[in-house]
Amino acid sequence: MAQAESSAATPFETDFWKDAKLRKMWDDIVPGEPRKTLPYKLTQEAIALYCRAVGETNPLYLDEAAAKAGPYGGLIAPPAIHILLMFACTPADDWMRSPGTVNAGQSWSYNIPARPGDTITLQARALDKFIKRERLFVVHDNVFFNQHGDVICSGRGQTIRPM
Amino acid sequence: MISANFDALKAGDTIDGPAFAVSRESIRLFCDASLDYNPLHLDDDYMKGDFGKTNFGGIIMHGMNNFGLISRMLTDWALPAGAIHRRLETRWLKPVKPGDTIRPGGTIKAKQTTAKSRWVLVDVAVQNQRGETVAAGEAMLEFPAS
């Protein structure tokens, strides 16, 4: 097991089975306990890729000259970029990446946009866990910040944990 | 579709979102864009198995792809009017699979003026090509006081 890997220098692990045994199961998750997270430098390329995946075409996200003349004075990321940030800021051994994790619903509040070049940090924890109709649920509590300490967005979600 | 004018908006007005064709390629692209490589979205053999009480029968689209499409609809509608997408809550009702075509839509539910701003609440839903609702929720848009 490569425990000494530097998270900053390691490319994103796309095999979610790797490290699966290291991850906490529902039984091990302690509500209230902060999760270990990683800072993430958001790039224009990552924003453009996200935009392509959902068909976003707004020039505020993609056209530097148009964005400069717009209300934010420069390029921004779409609000739902937290979809990417969530995994980008999550270490490979975190239970959020357990294969079979099913997303059961989310709510997000938006403060200011993320921008290309931002270094994003995440404060995250399980806030609650419960059993409903024989399924194992965890309530997630997440807040993303930029390098100035400003809140970008905050969210609450529920996942059903693999058994 | 109604334009984003706070004073003119009323309950029942609708917002149309873009149609989105779901394919194995669109799901794979969403994996790359979101860094969410959960085998739910990649591995047909794995998806033959049961998940607790659920069997999906094959790979499924990321639930958050619905979320991203709803968010795209809301921002494209609100931004030209200077309004800001402030909140979105969704839950997933049915899995979405390759070959489906989904489309988000919104219905104005209420308006509220607070001490410093003006808000519009929108019921949102995503439907598939059979008219089934696959995701539903509500959103909050801010129209800064002029």
Number of folded domains that form chain B: 1
Count of other CB atoms within 10 angstroms of residue B73: 23
Point out the residue among A16, A58, A102 whose CB comes nearest to the CB of B51: A102
B92 with A52: Cβ contact below 8 A: no
Amino acid at A94: D
Model pLDDT, residue A9:
47
Asked, for residue B51, whether it belongs to a domain, the answer is no
Give B132's DSSP letter. Answer: -
Is the model more confident about B49 or about B90? B90
Q: What is the pLDDT of residue B33?
A: 96
Q: Do B90 and A105 touch (CB under 8 A)?
A: yes
Sequence letter at residue B56? F
Predicted pLDDT at A4: 38
**The residue to which tokens 């020039």 are assigned:** A59
Cα separation, A112 vs B85, in Å, equals: 10
For the structural domain made of A32-41+80-160, what CATH number should be given?
Answer: 3.10.129.10
What is the rounded CA–CA span in Å between residue B103 and residue A160? 25
Q: Test A58 with B76 for CB contact under 8 angstroms.
A: yes
Closest CB to B29 among A53, A107, A136: A53
Distance of CA A82 to the CA centre of its chain: 5
Which of the residues in chain A have pLDDT under 70?
1-11, 19
Spatial separation of the C-alpha atoms in residues B124 and B104, rounded to whole Å: 7
Structure tokens at B77: 């509608």
CB contact under 8 A, A103 and B18: no
Q: Using a CB-CB distance cutoff of 8 angstroms, which residues of chain B are in contact with residue A134? A: 52-53
Q: Is A137 on the interface with B (CB under 8 A)?
A: no
Judged by CB atoms closer than 8 Å, whether chains meet at A99 and B89 is answered as: no
> Which residues does residue B18 pair with via DSSP β-bridges, in sequence order?
none
Confidence of residue B40 (pLDDT cuts 50, 70, 90): confident
A36 touches chain B (CB under 8 A): no
pLDDT at B75 over 90: yes
Decide if pLDDT at B92 tops 70: yes
The pLDDT of residue B93 is above 80: yes
pLDDT (0 to 100) of residue B47: 81
Q: Give the per-residue pLDDT at B54.
A: 72
Which residues of A are less than 8 Å from B29 in CB distance?
52-53
Average pLDDT, chain B: 93
> pTM value?
0.90
Interface test with A, best of B23, B71, B92 (most A CBs within 10 A): B71
User: Residue A107: closest CA among chain B residues belongs to which residue?
Assistant: B89
Handedness of CA B97, B98, B101, B105 (dihedral sign): positive
List the single best residue of A83, A84, A96, A98 to mutate versus B (max B Cβ within 10 A): A83
Do residues A67 and A58 lie in contact, with contact meaning Cβ atoms separated by under 8 Å? no
Residues composing chain A = 163
Task: Look at residue A13 in the predicted model and tell me its pLDDT.
Answer: 76
Percent helix, strand and coil across chain A, each to the nearest 5: 25, 30, 45
Is the pLDDT reported for residue B129 higher than 50? yes
Token pair belonging to A118? 């931002």
Q: What is the ipTM score, two decimals?
A: 0.93
CATH number, position B80:
3.10.129.10
Contacts of B84 in chain A (CB under 8 A): 110
Instruction: In whole angstroms, give the CA distance from residue B3 to residue A87.
Output: 35
* pLDDT value of position A10: 58
Full domain range(s) for residue B118: 14-21+63-144
For A54, the closest of B69, B79, B86 (CB atoms) is: B69
Residues A130, A96 contacting (CB under 8 angstroms)? no
Look at residue A1 in the predicted model and tell me its pLDDT: 33
CB contacts, 8 Å: A46 with chain B: 33
**φ, ψ for residue B55, nearest 5 deg:** -125, 120
